[in-house]
Structure 1
Amino acid sequence: MHYIAAGTTAGGFTPILMIVLLFGVMYFMMIRPQQKRRREAEAMQTGLGPGDEVVTIGGLYGTVTGIEDDTVLIEVAPGVQTRYARPAIARVVTRAELPSEPISEEADTVKD
């Protein structure tokens, strides 16, 4: 006589289920965070402007003096400018101060 064990029909799905769960964990633990970091880096690099103090991937500190399509001019010393590709900018140390709108004198006076 041959007896069939009670759980043998579901045994074929267990390896497939484990593989799917493994890929799901890999996606949420590794791929999604990497995509988020890439989007943040691209946003930082597109938001560069003159006056921003930056650090390159090589560790060079400087101030952005000009921006072209895919390159950035950085002043590393007074009168010394170097050209870098946008992706070579690792982070922005300080953003340039945006000029605030001047307040007119008429707004400060009280009308009698």
Structure 2
Amino acid sequence: MNITMLLPFIVLIGAMFLMTRSAKRKQQQAATMRNELQPGSGVRTIGGMYATVKEVNEDTVLLDAGPGVELLFAKNAIGSVLSDDEYNRIVHGIEHDLKSDSDLVPDDASSLTETDDSADEAAAASDDKSVDLDKKDVPEEPADETAAAGAKSDEEPKKTDGDSEAK
């Protein structure tokens, strides 16, 4: 037998092995995450509902979805456990205090090159210049000759007998 005939089958078997291995690893990580659920954790279900874990049982989880709303879910229905900051940002709209982060990256590069004095001067200079957004009364001229011809034809309409060139 020729080895070149067996090579595609070997590659196919190797690819199948790698895919099943990664799928098993993901399943193990999900099972570990679900087994480590603790009351008070913020979670997202596979259906997209955000809630707080109230009680963890062997196969079920009791979730607090709001004031007076408790829901019983299977552990397999928990899609992910969220960090406290992410849960508060999504559910309560509470943003994390960004001023405490020392590695904050600015949106534009201008603040990286300016000193505090030059930034104050630039702000003062931009306040002095005002932009006039009012429309000016400027007569508009036609953009091309066909528009100019159309303007002339509006002034003096032509009479035709129906046998014109517009057939």
TM-score over 0.5 for the alignment?
yes
SS at match of 1:76: strand
Letter in 2 for 1:16: L
SS at match of 1:73: strand
Q: 1:56 aligns with which of 33, 45, 48?
A: 45
Higher Cα Rg: structure 1 or 2? 2
Q: 1:18 aligns with which of 8, 20, 25?
A: 8
Letter in 2 for 1:53: G
1:34-53 alignment to 2 at 5 Å? 34-53=23-42
4+ residue runs over 4 A deviation = none
Larger helix proportion of the pair: 2
TM-score by length of 1: 0.69
TM-score by length of 2: 0.47
**Which has the bigger relative contact order, CA under 8 A and spacing at least 6?**
1
Distance across 1 between alignment mates of 2:42 and 2:83: 5
Match in the other structure for 1:3 = none
Distance across 2 between alignment mates of 1:25 and 1:67: 38
Larger strand proportion of the pair: 1
Match in the other structure for 1:78 = 67
**Cα displacement (A) at 1:76:** 0.2
Distance across 2 between alignment mates of 1:55 and 1:86: 12
Identity over aligned residues, as a percent? 37
